[in-house]
Chains A and B, each alone.
Chain A
């Protein structure tokens, strides 16, 4: 299938691309979690024996089910099944597999007391909710539209709120927040980034570029050409946040949302 960047894009094509891209994102996320298994086994950090008492707030049957699924051994089994399901949906997008991916994503978020990786978990869950609904009710056009629309609206909201909050923050407006974040990443110091963070003019310009880009992102819904440009900028933006902050999961989670956004951008034609 060709990705028709500037040609009409049907809802079924958008759904198909979303299914494949979220499959890739979830597959990579699951491998990472399996690589980190020593961190959540019973001699690691996020031990179920430590966490389980927080879950006693749930009704007893729910707690019993979570206790069964989130203990180390069964959780590893859930992760392996998720790995297989995510690889399978790239080629065979069966509704049951998407429902399982949705459920396992909720379980992973619970296992990490809300989320493992914040924003990328939110977006993964949103795309999986949309794509599961659209796949289960594939024969009903209005449901497909609603599900793709939900993903598109949440994508625009994610950028708009992030930008709006920055615009309200004086340190961002004055270009002073960015150097602080650049110096507190998970990565070793980089001479280029160090020199950028010391240059006030570049920091001010970069801060406003981010604010304008994020606040202006909802205009992607205005027309498909503008949407393609903003998706391109979004891709570069997430590539940058991976290079600087190590946020690789964000790139794949947001990429999975872009086909739905592009489809919605051409709706008012």
Chain B
């Protein structure tokens, strides 16, 4: 079967040769790779459930805190979303942003532990994006409120019962002023 043989030779042979000659060890700045990662397709879809980040927001009135709410409410299924699903794709992009933020937080804590951290968490680009995401969602759900707070938490799937998950708080923001 020449085409299939050629296919698997390319699939397994090229990474093998790269590893053998250590071509993959060339020093390329991580941030550049991150920004250009569309050129390096990762086909690892739905790899494992693991930790799923979630964003919660709450209203703050005169120092009193309201109940926590999901910042990214689920959307309804509809046949028209086959062609255009802007809200769904926004939620997917927001979920991906939360994953990146979680990863940046872990990197930041790692650097902090080694005394190499440069600046505060609030200076991270992903922190600022998540803060704007929280404020944007809060303004939509509470148009008249003036102050809010957000937190990042993770849902961790139970090993024995996959339908149950534990919620861990990861980061709590200061109280933020909401500009209309």
Contacts and interface: CB of A to CB of B under 8 A. Distances in A.
Chains A and B form a bound pair: yes
Interface of A: 28, 31-32, 35-36, 39, 44-47, 50-51, 53-55, 57-58, 105-106, 109-110, 112-119, 121-123, 125-126, 153-154, 156-162, 165-166, 169, 171-172, 176-181, 183-190, 197-198, 218-219, 221-222, 242-243, 246-249, 251, 264-265, 267-268
Contacts of A121: 38
Contacts, number: 192
A53 B129 CA distance: 13
A51 B125 contact: yes
Interface residues of B, number: 60
Given A219-B4, A221-B7, A251-B82, A169 B45 contact: no
17 contacts: A35-B84, A36-B89, A45-B136, A109-B37, A110-B36, A119-B45, A122-B43, A125-B41, A153-B11, A165-B43, A171-B162, A181-B46, A183-B163, A218-B11, A246-B92, A248-B81, A264-B3
Contact of A116 (B46, B76, B93): B93
B42 A122 contact: yes
Q: Which secondary structure characterizes the binding site on chain A?
A: helix
A114 B35 contact: yes
Interface stretch (B26-34, B142-150, B169-177): B26-34
A172 B81 CA distance: 28
B88 A222 contact: no
Given A109-B38, A165-B47, A248-B82, A180 B77 contact: no
Given A36-B90, A154-B41, 6 more contacts: A31-B84, A39-B90, A57-B29, A114-B35, A162-B45, A268-B2
A221 B3 contact: yes
A110 B85 contact: no
A162 B44 contact: yes
Nearest to A180: B49
B86 A35 contact: yes
A122 B77 CA distance: 25
A184 B4 CA distance: 37
